[in-house]
Amino acid sequence: MDTMTIIWIIVAIVVVLAVAALLIAASRKRNERRHREADSIRAKAQEQTSVVEKREALAEETAANARKAQAEAEAKAAEAKRLQVDAQTHQNTATTSRDDLKQEWKRADELDPEVKATGAASNDARTTDARTTDARAADARTTDVGPANARTDGTSSTNTHGAHAKPTDTSAT
């Protein structure tokens, strides 16, 4: 081999080594750049973690509030249902009482000789509501004068404690 060939072989080896060194250096730089980029992404992800955790906590709190509101709504619905049942029970009781009252009025009219003679019923159950209102007005009366004592013929009641008047206690206690 002559010198020229040896020189060319040495130059080729040096070039190959230089290219290999450049490739290794470029690979290291690329790896370092990727490592820095990954660290940057991790730092951003770490910052986002607290935001995401706050969002998750808010979502859990909102879900808990929704469950609480749902439970309250169900409790209110159950209470409304119970009150409806109570109202229906009271209505049924009132209807039964009203029917019993009508029967009592009818029985009283059947026993009353004046009703039998005239054929006109005295105050029957149809006027019970009016009598109740009148009785409430009479109970609320505090003086001897006023609309509660007025009669339909324009005169006032003397409050002589007749059969329909409520006696008042005038004694000092």
pLDDT tens digits for the chain (173 residues)?
699 999 999 999 999 999 999 999 999 999 999 999 999 999 999 999 999 999 999 999 999 999 999 999 999 999 999 999 999 999 999 999 999 999 999 999 888 888 776 766 655 544 545 444 444 444 444 444 444 444 445 544 444 444 444 445 555 54
Could you give the 3-state DSSP secondary structure of residue 158?
A: coil
pLDDT of amino acid 112: 85
CA distance 87 to 94: 10
State the Cα–Cα distance between residues 1 and 13, nearest whole angstrom. 16
pTM for the whole structure: 0.40
Q: Does residue 125 contact residue 101 with C-beta atoms inside 8 Å?
A: yes
Beta bridge partners of 156: 150
